Structures are given as structure tokens and as C-alpha cells.
Amino acid sequence: MSAVTMRLPAEIRPVLDNGIPAVMVTCSADGKPNVTVISQVYHVDDTHVALSFQFFSKTIRNVRENPRAYVCVADVAGHAQWNLELEFQRSETEGPVFDAMEMQIEAIASATGMSGIFKLRAADIYHVLSVERLTYPEWTGS
Amino acid sequence: MPDLPDEQSPDTELARKTSELERKTAELQVLQRVSSQINSTLDLDEIYDIALRTMDDLFEFHHAVILLLEPDGETLRVVASRGYENQAIGGRVKVGTGVIGVVAQRRKMLHVSNLGQQRAYAAAQRRQMIKAGRSDELTDTAPVPGLQNAESQIAIPLLIRNELIGVFSIESPLQRTFSEHRRGLFLIVANQIASAINNARLYEERRRAAEALRAANTSLEARVAERTAALEKELRVAEALLSDARSRVDGPLLGESAAVTGLRQAVAVQAARKEPLLLVGPPGAGKEAVAHAVHGASGRRGAFIFVSCPELHTQIRQLSVETPTAARSAPQLLTHKLELASGGTLFLDAVHELPTGLQTALQELSANDLDVRVIASTTRDLAHDSLGRPDTGLRFFAEHLSVPALVDRREDLPILVDHFIRRQARQLGKVVESVSSESMERLQRYTWPGNIRELRSVLERAVLVSRSTVIEVDEELIDEGLAIGSYRLTTRLGSGGMGEVWLGKHRLLARPAAIKLIRPDVQPGVAHEQLVRRFQREAQVTAGLRSPHTVQLYDFGVNETGSFYYVMELLEGLDLHQIVTRFGPQPSERVAWLLRQACRSLAEAHEHSLVHRDIKPANLFVTSLGLEYDYLKVLDFGIVKDQPGHETTMLTAQGVVQGTPAFMAPELVSGERVDGRADLYSLACSAYWALTGRPLFQATTPGQMLLHHVQTTPLPPSQVSELPVPAAFEAVLMTCLEKDPARRPSTALELEQQLARVAFKQPWTEDRARVWWETHVPTGLHDYRSR
């Protein structure tokens, strides 16, 4: 079963905050896909999320070439999965979203001897194009 | 309280709303309770406990920690925790490190719900870097207090007016989510905690400050009380001093006698002058008061600076002992005093005690441009001092003013008595009218050796013990003031350069005696202890003489003012000086009669190796003993000198020529060895004076006189005297007047025998002596010896 909306529903908020590792899919300009696991999907508002840009990676390059991306977030408690279709809009290096994300990363980095290395370079802001909630009956035992 | 899932419940809408309402109600109750509890205490531990329990009630979080910022501003310290096996109390977190440290640094709440994953991610990155050889970019991991396996953590800064005081943090090993709603609740509680902690700390600070203030107050009160007591004491002393000063200033100048009227006039004259002024008078006569009066009348606006020269002398001597070089800085002491007295008056009390060096310094300093009137006081009789001991210091004083003894202004007594009893009565709060007529008579009869100072002291005691408005002055009060040893001084017989002679009476035996007081200042520069030692030896030696022609010594000692005193047998009569002065040259047979007696006294003294050194007419006292008239007594072994090998005696200063110039043996003048033959020379000089009424040599200065003794051959007395001088007698005298002691009679006894062999046409007899006294002193031998 699935339901598609254009906005982030309220029930997805705890799922994002729980920080269960999410899967992100991007594609290069020449059509080569890339799948990676990301640790954080930051809820900005009903139509935007922010993803951390910490390292120059394949994902970042792809997004800069092709702004479309997919993020799959697992909701263990709800026995569901959320698929977010996103479009890269901009990178923020300051502001409340950047600060909130940077602070969390710095808290981890400072305690692990990674200050200055494990740091947020930018908060990449994505527009939510669609949200799809998938449920799995077998998870519920139904 | 379980965190309800936010997703849509399958239950009915009513059940969902009911559940939500119950949850909110429960939350509100918790918040109300925590608000009530946390604001009802100022105990920090209790506040921590309430805060931690509230987290449990609200969120079922069992791991919470409160940290406060250390004074250094760089470290947080755990002050309370809940749910940890190791309570972590005292654990520290560096500001900027870990979740708590970053929250403290940014002063913003932080919620991390996937701590484990993020740590794992960071650890993986770390390993990658190490593998890539970038270890040098890494720093050590920083352990932080709390759960090692925490998955979620929320930390909130505790802020007071945007100032960080600490961090409140809760942790869970589970991945849990704090909704915005719950984060809001947490923020409310944290703010209350911050406020309560701040209040408690402020209260504690205030309490400590109050305690410190209380302690300081207690200490201050004690110090104030102590200081107040000291000030009151100082005030009483100052009042007493002021009163005393006033009485000293007022008293001596009160009266209408010619003496004090003249004194007041002299004060007015002196006030207009600038030259150094020397006040001369007996102790207690009011010299300081006169100096005050001169200063007051002068219109000088500067201070009146009092300097006690004996104290200054002692101070310099002590300095010299402690620091030998300090003596050189002694003039600075005087300079300092002079500067203090700038525009005013410097009063040097007992100036004869001023060390010689300072006397010179005083003259030099006064020659400068300092506007200081120098006034000094001395008890010395300058006329006497100029003969025996030239005092260069006193020459500095161009102006002299005599302050009379009280006995010389007796008529002022009633005014002075009235003044002193009223002043003392005012101080004691008593009412007095007068002294009784009997007491006034007693006061009038008394001789007041201590002068006005003694009068004031006696009257103060009389007022003190009086229970009536009419003051009685008992004889005991006067006695007490004049007691010296076992003797009471009653009448001053005379005074001289070295002191005074008083008529005294033994308190128990009622035996009259002559008491000679010798001031310790007669030998400046000699330590008092040394003087006392010499004096004692001198007195002991004199007391050992048994000749009836040597004045008998009853007692001796040092009184409380430091004066030495001898108590001697009281002799009634005249000394040879007085006899010649009053009645002219005496016949040879009488002179020989007297000389023979003097020889008997000296013979014994010489046998004891004592040389009198000051034989002169004034020390040859002619008295009566029972029915014997013209009985001679040798007086004043005051400058007696032992023969070589013995200590120099009391009144002989080292290096100072002692004796009376007109009667001084040549060897004494030249400082050669002296023995008893020096006394025989002086005795012959005295005989010469008695026979001729003139000294052996005529001289205008002591120096000339001394030189004559050494160089000049004297004229025989027969060529000078109006009376005949038998040749045999003259021959004996002239041998005694030989410059060379070896050519004189070798002993006093030999001289006595030579005199005994001289035949006179009309020998002197006891009958002639009796007739002489009855003719010349018909009132009896009551003209006491005086010097």
C-alpha cells in the first residue's frame, strides 16, 4: 500500500528525528546512479529537508550535476517506509538550519578527537517533490 | 509517563483526545509541583533532587546530570546526577567538548537522538584517517561523564539573563524522540532549575556576605570600643595635661608681690624680643609657665615646642650605645625640633643638660634663617658656674630672666592658694571656699623648697581628701612633700652652684640637721649611675672620719628627683668667710687657733688617703660645742679626692679643674699628683684671707688667679694686713704657700705642731672667744651656715 503527498506529513517528523539511517539515491549527469547511507535528514518545514554536506563525495558531485535525489527513511516503530523525492535547491553555510546541524556534528566531533575534520561544510536544502508512505503487511504480521 | 506516539491512533477520536488531555493534565501537575517545590527551598542539593526527580516524572528518563560552570569559565563540574552507577559527581566537562560542552559553548539546547550511530560514523571516519596516515590531524578523544552507550541525549543550557551558569542533561540508552512539545516542557523545567539555582547561590553568597559582615561588624565593634576607650583615656590624659599646663601657666604669674609684678613686666618686655632667652630659677618656680607667657604675649603664631634636655641627652646616649654613628646625627634631632617650632618658640627645659655638641649645633642652627625664638630654662646659679665650670652653651643666651622662688614672694601665697584649690575643686566637682586660717598660717610658715609645683601638689592633695568647703592642710601633707630619707626639710638655709642647704628634722628623733641637696646636673656628661656610685663612696669615706673637727655625716642618699643629699650635723655659727666679710680681718692668734683645729681634721683625712681639695674660708665653720666657742669644723668633703689608686670621687669630673681658684694649690692647677699638702696650701690661703681680708693674689679672672698660684710669689701677709702678723706665724704660713709641695710641712699634724709652737703676745683663749661671740653675735649662734 502507498500514499503520495506533496508535503511532509506530521507523522514523519519523529521518524526523521529518530535518525534511523536512511538511504539516498542520486544520479550523475550521464545517468550513472549512486546509493549511499546518510545519518541525518533534518526537517526544515513541510516542503523542505536538509542533508548534511560533510565530505566531497560522489553523492555531492551527483547532486551538483543533477539536482534530483531520492531518500528512503525507515520507520521501524510504524512498520513503514517513507520515500522522499527531492530536488537540491541550495547550500547554506549559516543560518538556523546550518547552526542546528553543525552543533550536533560538532558535539560528536569534539568528543571523538575529530574537531575540524568531522564538520559540517554546508546544509544542503532540498525541496520535497513528493512523499510516499509504504506499509508492509508482513511486518505487522497481517 | 510514556511518550505517546504521534502517529494517528487507531482508537476513536474521543479516546485519543481523552488520552491527550490526561497527558497534558499530568504534565501540568508535574510542572506545578516542580514550580512549587523548587521555589520553596534555597538548598542547592534539594533543588538538584527536585530537578532530577521531575525529569523522571515527566519523561521517564532515569539518567540525568546537572553541571555548573566553574569560576574559570572554561569547565563545567557535575554537581548532581541520577541513574548512574558512578554518580559522576565532581566529573568535569570542558566547555566546547561533547554534547554538554557544545551546549555550554553555544548556549543553545541540543537534542541528539542517534548518538550511537553518529559516534560510530565518527569512529569510522577516524579509522579511515588513521589508515590514510592522517593521524597527526586527530586529537585525543575526550571522555565525558554519562552513559557510554547513550543513544539519545538532550542538553539545555542553564541561563540567567543570558549568562551561562550550567547545563542540564538527560540521556537514554534507547533511541527516543523528544517532540517539540516535550522539548518545550524540558525548557520550562530547566529555566526553573536555573532560576532556583541562581537564587540559592545568591542567597548563599548573601548569607556568606552577611556572615562576613557580621564578623567584620563584631570585629569592628570591638575595635571601635577599644579605640573609643583608648581615645577616652587619651582625652582624659589630654584634659589632665591641659589642666596641668593651664595651672602651670596661670599659677606662677599670679600675685601682686614685687617679684611677680617685676616678672610680668619682664615677660612683656621679653615678648617683643627675638634674642635667645634664658630663664633662671629654682626647680618648680614656674620657668616653663614664664616661657609660655612670653610665647603667648609675643603674638608668634607658630607652636610652642617643649624639649626636655635631660631626656634628649638620654635619648642620644642610648642611640650612641646602639649605633655608634648615631651620635653624629644628634644635631638632626635638634633641627627637627627647631623646624617644628618654626614661627613659634622652642623651649629647652634644663638646658644645662644639653650635650656640648648640641649646644654648639643650637647656636649654629639658630644663626640660620629659621624664625624660632629659643627660650631655655636652668636651675643653675650662673654666677657660681662662671667660676668653676665655664658653660659655653649658656653664653648663647643673650637675655636672662630670673624666676623667683616662692619663698621670695610669700605675699602671693593667698592668691596662689585660692587659685589652686578652686582649680582642683573644679576638676573634682567639689565646692570649696577657702583654706582654714590655721592652714594658711602653716602654709605661710613653710619654706616651699619645691616652690609653686610643691604648693600645687600639696593643695591638690588637700582638696582631694577634704570633706569640707574649708580646706585643711595638715602638716603631714607638707611633710610628705618634703620628706628626704628620714628627714623633713623645714627651712632653706641657702643655695649655691651645686645645690641647696636645708634645715631638716629627723622624723622620729626630732634631731635637727643640715641637709645638703646636690643636683645631679652639676656634672653634665657623667652618667647618673656613675655619679651615684661616686657619691656613695664619697659619703661612706666621709662618714668614716671621726675627728670632732670634721662635720659629722648622719645620712646620705638620692631622692626621687635624682638629687644627692647629705644629712649633716646642724652647726650654728659662721664660717670664716662670713666672719671676715662681716667683721674684717682677724687677729693672728685667733687665725692660728682655728688653723690648728682644721689641721686636726685634715690630719685624720690625710691618714685615710683623702685630700679635701676645696679648703677655703667658707668650708671652715666656726661654731660652739657645748661651752666651747670658736670650735672649728671642716665642711664639705664634697670634692674630696682619694690618693692615687683610688677612684675619683663624686664631684670631681675627669679632666676638670676642681676647687675654688683663690685657694687652689699649684699642683692642683697644673694637674700634677696631689696629696694632703695641697690642702695645707689652701689652708694657708684661707689664713691669708682671714688675716688680710684679701685673697692671696689679685686677679680679674679665674684663669689669672690659677696662673698666679703656679707662678707668682705671694706677698707676706704682714705687708698686706692692717693687723700685726707675728713673724713666726708668717713664716709657717709662707712655708705652706711654697709652690713645691716638698717644701711645705709634710703633714697636717706637723703644721699643727708648728703652729702650736708660735708664741703670741695675746694668745687666743676660750674666754676671748666667748666674749667675741657675745659681742658680735649677741642673738646667739643662729645664723646658720649658708652657701
- Give me the mean pLDDT over the B487-503 stretch: 65
Q: Which of these ranges, A21-25, B481-485, B596-600, B730-734, has the smallest mean pLDDT?
A: B481-485
Closest chain A C-alpha to B142 CA, distance in angstroms: 5
- Give me the mean pLDDT over the B630-658 stretch: 53
The confidence band for A140, taking pLDDT boundaries of 50, 70 and 90, is very low
Q: Which of these ranges, B193-207, B241-255, B465-479, has the smallest mean pLDDT?
A: B241-255
Which of A39, A77, A114 minimises the CB distance to B117? A39
B267 pLDDT more than 80: yes
Mean pLDDT of the residues in chain A:
84
The confidence band for B751, taking pLDDT boundaries of 50, 70 and 90, is very high
B732 pLDDT more than 50: yes
B656 pLDDT more than 50: no
pLDDT in the model for residue A142: 38
Q: Which of these ranges, B121-135, B358-372, B638-652, has the smallest mean pLDDT?
A: B638-652
Give the other-Cβ count within 10 Å of B101's Cβ: 25
Asked if B129 has any chain A CB less than 8 Å from its own CB, the reply is yes
B106 contact residues in A (CB cutoff 8 A): 99, 103
| Residue of A25, A26, A19 lying closest to A75 (CA atoms) | A19
What span, in angstroms and rounded, lies between the C-alpha atoms of B639 and B650? 7
B8 pLDDT more than 80: no
Which of A18, A106, A114 minimises the CB distance to B126? A114
Asked if B119 has any chain A CB less than 8 Å from its own CB, the reply is yes
- Give me the mean pLDDT over the B542-567 stretch: 79
Asked if B5 has any chain A CB less than 8 Å from its own CB, the reply is yes
pLDDT in the model for residue B316: 72
User: Are B175 and A109 an interchain contact pair (Cβ–Cβ within 8 Å)?
Assistant: no
Q: Which of these ranges, A60-74, B387-401, B572-586, has the smallest mean pLDDT?
A: B387-401
Which are the contacts of B164, defined by CB distance < 8 A and separation ≥ 6?
B69, B104, B107, B157, B158
Give the other-Cβ count within 10 Å of A56's Cβ: 9
Q: Which three cell numbers stand for residue B207?
A: 548569607
B134 pLDDT more than 70: yes
User: What DSSP element (H or E) covers A51?
Assistant: strand A48-53
A105 pLDDT more than 70: yes
The confidence band for B678, taking pLDDT boundaries of 50, 70 and 90, is very high
pLDDT in the model for residue B380: 65
Higher pLDDT, B744 or B492: B744
- Phi and psi at B655, nearest 5°, equal 75, 10
pLDDT in the model for residue B778: 61
User: Are A114 and B138 an interchain contact pair (Cβ–Cβ within 8 Å)?
Assistant: yes
pLDDT in the model for residue B531: 66
**Interface probe with B: pick from A43, A106, A115, A119, most Cβ of B within 10 Å:** A106
- Give me the mean pLDDT over the B617-641 stretch: 80
pLDDT in the model for residue B136: 83
- Give me the mean pLDDT over the B175-196 stretch: 80
Higher pLDDT, B195 or B390: B195
Asked if B162 has any chain A CB less than 8 Å from its own CB, the reply is no
Higher pLDDT, B177 or A90: A90
B2 pLDDT more than 60: no
What is the CB-side half-sphere exposure of residue B350 using CA atoms within 13 A?
16
Q: Which of these ranges, B3-7, B79-83, B87-91, B104-108, has the smallest mean pLDDT?
A: B3-7
Which are the contacts of B479, defined by CB distance < 8 A and separation ≥ 6?
B488, B507
B86 pLDDT more than 80: no
Nearest chain B residue to A15, by CA: B177
User: Are B6 and A103 an interchain contact pair (Cβ–Cβ within 8 Å)?
Assistant: no
The confidence band for B1, taking pLDDT boundaries of 50, 70 and 90, is very low
pLDDT in the model for residue B718: 92
Q: Which three cell numbers stand for residue B342?
A: 618654626
Cα–Cα separations (whole angstroms), residue B631 to B572, B601, B624, B770 = 11, 12, 5, 11
Asked if B179 has any chain A CB less than 8 Å from its own CB, the reply is yes
pLDDT in the model for residue B655: 38
- Give me the mean pLDDT over the B545-555 stretch: 87
Asked if B121 has any chain A CB less than 8 Å from its own CB, the reply is yes
| Residue of A91, A93, A96 lying closest to A43 (CA atoms) | A96
Cα–Cα separations (whole angstroms), residue B191 to B59, B66, B159, B165, B437 = 17, 13, 7, 11, 96
Which are the contacts of B655, defined by CB distance < 8 A and separation ≥ 6?
none
Nearest chain A residue to B102, by CA: A107
Q: Which of these ranges, B373-377, B522-526, B527-531, has the smallest mean pLDDT?
A: B522-526
- Give me the mean pLDDT over the B244-253 stretch: 63
Contact A75, A85 (CB under 8 A): no
Give the percent of chain B with pLDDT over 90. Answer: 20
pLDDT in the model for residue B654: 38
Nearest chain B residue to A96, by CA: B108
B239 pLDDT more than 70: no
Mean pLDDT of the residues in chain B:
80
Contact B610, B691 (CB under 8 A): no
pLDDT in the model for residue B205: 87
pLDDT in the model for residue A29: 92
B601 pLDDT more than 70: yes
B508 pLDDT more than 80: no
Which of A20, A78, A117 minimises the CB distance to B137? A117
B599 pLDDT more than 90: yes
What span, in angstroms and rounded, lies between the C-alpha atoms of B343 and B339? 9
Contact B716, B684 (CB under 8 A): no
Interface contacts A/B by beta carbons within 8 Å? 99
Cα–Cα separations (whole angstroms), residue B727 to B718, B732, B733, B769 = 8, 9, 10, 23
The confidence band for B445, taking pLDDT boundaries of 50, 70 and 90, is confident
- Give me the mean pLDDT over the B407-428 stretch: 87
pLDDT in the model for residue B184: 83
- Give me the mean pLDDT over the B584-590 stretch: 93
Whether the predicted model's global pTM rises above the 0.80 cut = no
- Per-residue pLDDT of B145-182, as tens digits, reads 777 778 888 899 999 888 899 999 888 877 666 777 77
pLDDT in the model for residue B153: 87
- Per-residue pLDDT of B752-762, as tens digits, reads 999 999 999 99
- Per-residue pLDDT of B293-322, as tens digits, reads 898 888 888 888 888 887 777 667 666 655
What span, in angstroms and rounded, lies between the C-alpha atoms of A112 and B60? 29
pLDDT in the model for residue A77: 66
- Per-residue pLDDT of B450-489, as tens digits, reads 888 888 888 887 887 788 889 888 777 775 545 677 777 7
- Give me the mean pLDDT over the B653-681 stretch: 77
- Phi and psi at B657, nearest 5°, equal -70, 120
Contact B404, B279 (CB under 8 A): no
B388 pLDDT more than 60: no
The confidence band for B225, taking pLDDT boundaries of 50, 70 and 90, is confident
pLDDT in the model for residue B591: 96
User: What was the ipTM of the complex prediction?
Assistant: 0.81
What span, in angstroms and rounded, lies between the C-alpha atoms of B452 and B406? 6
Asked if B144 has any chain A CB less than 8 Å from its own CB, the reply is yes
A136 pLDDT more than 80: no
The confidence band for B244, taking pLDDT boundaries of 50, 70 and 90, is low
B733 pLDDT more than 90: yes
Closest chain B C-alpha to A92 CA, distance in angstroms: 19
Higher pLDDT, A97 or B329: A97
B520 pLDDT more than 50: yes
Nearest chain B residue to A118, by CA: B122
The confidence band for B492, taking pLDDT boundaries of 50, 70 and 90, is low
